Structure 1
Amino acid sequence: MSVVPVEELFTVFNETAMIIQEELACTYLEALAETGENIFQGSILQRDELSELTIKRLTKSYDSIHLNRFSNEEIRKSFQLAILKGMKEIVQHNHQMTPDAVGMLVGYLVDKFVHDQSFRLLDPAVGTGNLLTTVINQQQSKAVEAIGLDIDDILIKLSYVNANLQQHPIQFFNQDSLEPLFIEEADVVVSDLPVGYYPNDLRAADYEMKAEKGHTYAHHLFIEQSMRHVKAGGYLFFIVPNGIFESEQAPMLHEYIKKYGIIQGLLQLPLSLFKNKNAAKSIFILQKKGEGVKPPKQVLLVNLPSLSKTAEVEKILSKIDGWYKENK
């Protein structure tokens, strides 16, 4: 019986990460980043810190696979599985990974809305790079350069390894994305926005959406920061909480979007994807105002069925198709 490529590659990522984790007494995720870098570089970079026996075990495991036999999606999925395993050790609220089906849907929407054969893509909350690389993998025959930012040094290292293994040209910055950014303007933004309050009131004061009292919502500030760093007419695809327009700070969000953007669509994701309905999210599509940018005749509003119901999903995709032809 042949081994499924994703399982075969996951086994190597997982076993070698566990070997490194034990020998270097680090976390699984740190070890995974190290082993991913070894596989990409084609050599063991921690030789000075490892025993001869460990080097032999790692070499044997690495020699059993050749990356060029795997597609980018197989590499991404197997690396993602290993990351998910590591995340169980350190469950932090903001470290939830974007579900695959959602990443695929965002990739489909980016492909539909963005017709340039080459463009620059920004994710200001890149995490492990899973959403960003899922989207890039779906831009068939388009050349995509990307920029990813994250404040967490382990996540950004995993992102960097993830991108290298898939051979994607992505620049990474390990910083608070709400601090000033020294990056080129992007054509498109995708992001699964961090939800909650931003603790740095001094920095928040530089934003139009700052709260009049108390902390400001981080997800509002991420929308504003993204809008500042995307070109006029550029598209922004955000994964946002369902109640984003119902919070006490929502009026400022309304005002800001009215001033700088055009709402293209809101696609409510199926509740079955989330632990409870309070955690449920939607895909929010914005376009930055610019010369010749017109609002759609009507905003694309969709309630997505369970993504396992293929026939119903097909219907929705053809509805999106119809809307696109009529409005674009």
Structure 2
Amino acid sequence: MNEFSPIERLFKTFDETAAIFQNELSCTYLDALAETAENLFQKDILQEELSEVAKKQVLKKYEDIQLDQFSKEEMRKAYQLAILKGMQENVQPNHQMTPDSMGLFIGYLLGQFMKDKSEFTIMDPAVGTGNLLFTVLNHLSEKNLAAIGVDIDDLLLKLAWCGANLLEQPVQLYSQDSLEPLLIDPSDVIVCDLPVGYYPNDVRAAEYELRAEEGHSYAHFLFMEQSIKHTKPGGYLFFLIPDSLFESTGADKLHRFFQQHAHIQGVIGLPPSLFKNKQAAKNILILQKQAEETQPPKQVFLANMPSMKDPKAMQSIMVKMDQWFRESKS
């Protein structure tokens, strides 16, 4: 009887083979992880510079794993654990992964808003390793979805590409600064864990309505404007926003921008226990891009999400949300 769960077994394979590649190729753990993930997908060893001893070690570990024995969620979680290990070894501010609980909740919300659609497109303009996008795609497996991810970080995009292959998810990935012009058709839905901070390119920022009057502009403001621009009329946007967004400098300008271009559908406060400190706290902001046939909701959905470890409180907020959906549809 195997003592490990499927997720632990698959993580062990990712981890141990990545360590071999890291040593053999003199690269970082995350680069090595991308190499071994691509090998598993291709069912072959693609690195010619590997020593014969290392090849035998790696092949032995691959032979113990049959990918079709794992669900997409088991595969995503095992891959995510390996990425998290690599990020702890090489900490960079832009290498942060959206926690599972947030991705699952956004997947639930998206499913509610798009209940009547069996086919649509989703874009994440700050896709990173793809964990948020993959969580949502796995959650909506009964729908026919096409997804797009954009990121400026080549390593994160490589990890996302390997993850999309392993999960057999239909994702097109673009390597570029998302705040530069995007040659991408508008999507039905945007999901994004907004990159928070200042955008260094003042020349490019000057093209945006939400640019700062002085100094560098907020990247998260510009990402919201760019996302709305790349959403189809009537489409929905799900953002993870800083808790202090509506109290920050320029918030009045942001309010005016939303009044002109989008309907605020809801703001959901996430439990503080999800974050290391109060400054890192986030909320979920749900917008609908304005169109001729759209109307603002009779009442914006406002709620604070309880800890997911409290099933009774979670059930209560779900009931409240279902009631809001019914009333807003009527």
Q: Which interval holds the TM-score relative to the shorter structure?
A: over 0.9
Structure-2 separation of matches of 1:96 and 1:20: 23
TM-superposition CA deviations, 1:116-168 (whole Å, max 9, x none): 10110000000100000000111141011000001100000000011110000
Which residue of structure 2 aligns with residue 294 of structure 1? Answer: 295
Runs (4+) of structure 1 moved beyond 4 Å?
A: none
Which residue of structure 2 aligns with residue 166 of structure 1? Answer: 167
Instruction: Return the TM-score normalized by structure 2.
Output: 0.98
Which residue of structure 2 aligns with residue 157 of structure 1? Answer: 158
Instruction: Return the TM-score normalized by structure 1.
Output: 0.99
Is the aligned partner of 1:317 residue 2:318? yes
Which residue of structure 1 aligns with residue 218 of structure 2? Answer: 217
Structure-1 separation of matches of 2:93 and 2:311: 31
State the shift of 1:95 in Å.
Answer: 1.7
Which residue of structure 2 aligns with residue 175 of structure 1? Answer: 176
Q: Match of 1:93, SS?
A: coil
AA matched with 1:105: F
Structure-1 separation of matches of 2:315 and 2:95: 31
Structure-1 separation of matches of 2:162 and 2:315: 34
Identity of aligned residues (%): 57
Structure-2 separation of matches of 1:21 and 1:93: 22
Which residue of structure 2 aligns with residue 43 of structure 1? Answer: 44
Which residue of structure 2 aligns with residue 23 of structure 1? Answer: 24
TM-superposition CA deviations, 1:186-229 (whole Å, max 9, x none): 00000100000000000001111111110110000000000011
Structure-1 separation of matches of 2:301 and 2:46: 50
AA matched with 1:187: D
Which residue of structure 2 aligns with residue 111 of structure 1? Answer: 111
Q: How does 1:246-325 map to 2 (within 5 A)?
A: 246-325=247-326
State the shift of 1:94 in Å.
Answer: 2.4
AA matched with 2:228: M
Q: Which runs of 5+ in 2 are unaligned?
A: none
Structure-1 separation of matches of 2:83 and 2:143: 28
Structure-2 separation of matches of 1:317 and 1:94: 32
Q: Match of 2:288, SS?
A: strand
TM-superposition CA deviations, 1:245-282 (whole Å, max 9, x none): 11112122111111100000000000011111111000
Which residue of structure 1 aligns with residue 246 of structure 2? Answer: 245
Structure-2 separation of matches of 1:37 and 1:291: 46
Is the aligned partner of 1:80 residue 2:80? yes
Which residue of structure 2 aligns with residue 53 of structure 1? Answer: 53
AA matched with 1:203: R
Q: How does 1:116-155 map to 2 (within 5 A)?
A: 116-155=117-156
State the shift of 1:75 in Å.
Answer: 0.4
AA matched with 2:55: I
AA matched with 2:239: F
AA matched with 1:13: F
AA matched with 1:65: I
Structure-1 separation of matches of 2:292 and 2:210: 24
AA matched with 2:240: I
Q: Which runs of 5+ in 1 are unaligned?
A: none
Is the aligned partner of 1:64 residue 2:64? yes
Is the aligned partner of 1:94 residue 2:86? no
AA matched with 1:168: Q
Structure-2 separation of matches of 1:302 and 1:95: 29
Residues paired across the two proteins, number: 327
Q: How well do the aligned residues superpose, as a CA RMSD in angstroms?
A: 0.8
State the shift of 1:286 in Å.
Answer: 0.3
AA matched with 1:155: L
Structure-2 separation of matches of 1:212 and 1:185: 28
